[in-house]
Amino acid sequence: MPDDLAVIESLYPEAFPDEDLLPLLGELLRESSTTLSLVGKIGGLLVGHVIFTKCHVAESAGADALLGPLAIAPAWQRRGMGSTIVRAGLQRLEDAGVTQVYVLGDPAYYGRLGFKTEMRVTPPYELPPEWVGAWQSQTLTGAAKPRSGKLLLPRPWLQPALWTP
Ligand SMILES: CC(C)(COP(=O)(O)OP(=O)(O)OC[C@H]1O[C@@H](n2cnc3c(N)ncnc32)[C@H](O)[C@@H]1OP(=O)(O)O)[C@@H](O)C(=O)NCCC(=O)NCCS
């Protein structure tokens, strides 16, 4: 909804004061055929947002997705909203036939949501050694067999700066 867009755009600088994710956000929202954008609301107030981008592994037939970015308004953090919208997204993806979801993020957080370190599928750019454990994935119901290879993502994600500290 157009009203939601302005709130979503204000959410990211609040949640990530040291990072400008708005160009990425704008590009991903424009690619609505390959992205799933979900908001989290409390009493009508938009307090959270997450995007999943559909992608796949080279030479694999499976349908995959990348989680990110994810932002919760600072005043509403640690109240379960991040977990709620991620779980809702995973369910929607599973219903749509996606069988594997990747994320680059803090394992202390994403581990609670079922993600585990991913070693077989590699991100589009090589990660610095300290980030290797932050590259994670989760297999959803219906996955045929484990993937192996490079994750192929649409253009908005093909920026090395998004994959370096
Ligand atoms: C990280 C973030 C998405 C989590 O969403 P949330 O709604 O605050 O988290 P939830 O309420 O679902 O889960 C809370 C639990 O996750 C853990 N957690 C929350 N933020 C965390 C963080 N930044 N790192 C590690 N663990 C975190 C805590 O253990 C917390 O449990 P506790 O309060 O019992 O200790 C949110 O805090 C946020 O937007 N932060 C700023 C932006 C950001 O870092 N985004 C992550 C993108 S990779």
pLDDT digits (tens, 9 = 90+) for 54-77: 999 988 878 999 999 999 999 999
Could you identify the atom of ligand 1 that is nearest to the CA of residue 83?
Answer: 12
Q: Report the run of H or E that residue 115 belongs to, with start and end.
A: none
Lowest-pLDDT range of 7-11, 13-17, 60-64: 60-64
Give the CATH number, domain containing residue 44: 3.40.630.30
Q: Which two tokens stand for residue 46?
A: 């938009």
In this structure, is the dihedral angle defined by the CA atoms of residues 152, 13, 22 and 113, taken in order, positive or negative? positive
The total number of residues written for the chain in this structure: 165
- Pocket lining for ligand 1, CB < 6 angstroms: 15-16, 69-72, 77-83, 105-106, 108-109
Q: What are phi and psi of 105, to 5 degrees?
A: -170, -175
Tell me what pLDDT residue 2 has.
67
Tell me the per-residue pLDDT of 118-144, one tens digit each, with 9 for 90 and over. 999 999 999 999 998 999 999 998 766
Question: How far apart, in whole angstroms, are the C-alpha atoms of residue 81 and residue 101?
Answer: 19
Protein residue with its CA nearest to atom 46 in ligand 1: 70
Which of the residue ranges 8-17, 85-94, 146-155 would you say has the lowest mean pLDDT? 146-155
Q: What's the number of domains the chain is made of? A: 1
pTM: 0.94
Report the separation in Å between the CA atom of 51 and the middle of ligand 1, taken as the mean of its atom positions: 16
Residue 99, domain extent: 2-163
Which amino acid would we find at residue 86?
Answer: V
CA–centroid distance for 91 within its chain: 14
